[in-house]
Amino acid sequence: MSGDVFDKDALIRYRLEQARETLLDAQVLYEHERRPASIVNRAYYAMFYATLALLVTIGKSPSKHIGVISFFDSEFVRRNIFPKEMSRKLHEVFEARQEGDYTNPDLIDREKAGDVLEAAGEFLKAIEDKLLKGES
């Protein structure tokens, strides 16, 4: 990206790479039995970056997390591009990340972290499949 030229494909690739790397960070934390709240944080951010990649396709780049989630719901779930289950998982993981980062990280156990990690992997795969098949 330079000047007024905007390379959507490059930005999508960048966001997907961020998502993959962040998911890998979450997996490494899980494998090394690190803090469950940290695993949830990284898993959520993998989902967040994947969603940002998706939003590039419709020219949206909200500045707040809730805006990203809202656009995902309105533009992709309500239009039946992705199933409601993906929205539910994104909302659940967002709430778990909020809890782990800001309220009570001790309520997040290893089992919950593992569930979130699995959900994030499935979420990222669904978005990658959509974007990399050129169906955006």
Taking Cα atoms as reference points, which of 46, 41, 45, 48 lies closest to residue 71?
48
100-110: per-residue pLDDT in tens?
999 998 899 99
Q: Mean of the pLDDT values across residues 66-81?
A: 98
CATH of 8-132, one of 3.40.50.720, 2.40.50.180, 3.40.50.1970, 1.20.120.330: 1.20.120.330
pLDDT at 2 over 60: no
Burial of 81 (0-12, 13-18, 19+ CB in 10 A): middle
The amino acid sitting at 72 is F
Query: Which residues are within 8 A (CB) of 16 and not within 5 positions of it... i.e. 6 or more apart?
Result: 49, 50, 53, 127, 128, 131, 132
How confident is the model over 91-98, as a mean pLDDT? Answer: 97
Q: What is the pLDDT of residues 24-67, one digit of tens each?
A: 999 999 999 999 999 999 999 999 999 999 999 999 999 899 99
